[in-house]
Each structure stands twice: as C-alpha cells, then as structure tokens.
C-alpha cells in the first residue's frame, strides 16, 4: 500500500512538468507572461516533473541502494525547488498563473509536503528493506 501511495504521489508531482509551457514566455511583455525571475523555478519544475516519470519507473521496477538514494535525492531537490519558487513568488509575484489563482501560495507548500511524504514513506523500515536488498 505504501509503495502504491509513493507511486501515486510521484506521478501527481510529475505534473510539475507543465511549466515547460511557460519557460519560453518568461520575461515576456504579453499579459500573463511570467516575470523573468520565474525562469529558474520554471526550469526546476520542468526538470522535477520530467524526471518524476523516471522515478516512477524506478519505484515500479528496480531495487537497490542507488534507487532508494535516487528517490530521496529527487524529493529533496524538489522540496528545495518548491520553496525557492515560494521565495521568488514573495519577491516577484506572478498573479496571472492559474495555479496561484486557484491555490494561492499554499501550492508551494503542498508540493513540498507531498515530496516530504514520499521521503517519510520510503524511509519506513518495510520499504527501506525492500529497496536495500
């Protein structure tokens, strides 16, 4: 059950790749374009989202210390990215972003919490034993 939850959360978080649609518009002058300061968080989200598909594959098909360490590292980097995006949001807001309109700044903390939940779950003795065989 825990492994399924980790997989579901990972696949949900791979949705962060949607920022690929906004990277080319960063710093643009059209309405709704993200401020240039958002370029790094957008790239970070895209990398986290795309690599999330690889992480999901590893969760399903592979075991070993390297898999466990990769899962932990991916989530730690993703937490850093989400919290960095929050800092950018506080200093250079992008009010037209539909996710911010729906969820507000809590979206950054929700993403970080989901990544933290994966770290906690994969660190449980039963799952850690599964990966560290």
Domain count, the chain: 1
Q: What pLDDT does 114 receive?
A: 98
Confidence check: pLDDT of 39 > 90: yes
User: CA–CA separation, 48 vs 79, rounded Å?
Assistant: 10
Q: What pLDDT does 72 receive?
A: 97
Q: Does 30 or 104 have the greater pLDDT score?
A: 30
pLDDT tens for residues 48-72?
999 999 999 999 999 999 999 999 9
Domain that holds residue 123: 2-131
Whole-angstrom CA distances from 14 to 30, 43, 97 are 27, 13, 18
* 33 exposure class (CB count in 10 Å sphere: 0-12, 13-18, 19+): middle
Share of the chain above pLDDT 70, in %: 98
Largest CA distance in the chain: 53
* Single pTM value for the model: 0.91
């Amino acid at each position: 059950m825990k492994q399924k939850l980790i997989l579901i959360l990972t696949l949900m978080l791979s949705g962060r790749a949607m920022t690929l649609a906004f990277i080319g518009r960063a710093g643009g002058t059209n309405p709704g374009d993200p401020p240039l300061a958002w370029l790094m968080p957008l790239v970070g989200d895209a990398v986290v989202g795309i690599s999330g598909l690889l992480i999901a594959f590893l969760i399903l098909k592979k075991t070993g210390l390297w898999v466990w360490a990769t899962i932990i590292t991916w989530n730690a980097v993703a937490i850093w990215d989400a919290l960095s995006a929050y800092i950018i949001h506080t200093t250079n807001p992008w009010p037209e972003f539909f996710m911010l309109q729906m969820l507000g700044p809590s979206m950054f903390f929700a993403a970080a919490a989901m990544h933290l939940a994966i770290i906690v779950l994969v660190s449980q003795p039963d799952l850690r034993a599964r990966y560290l065989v």
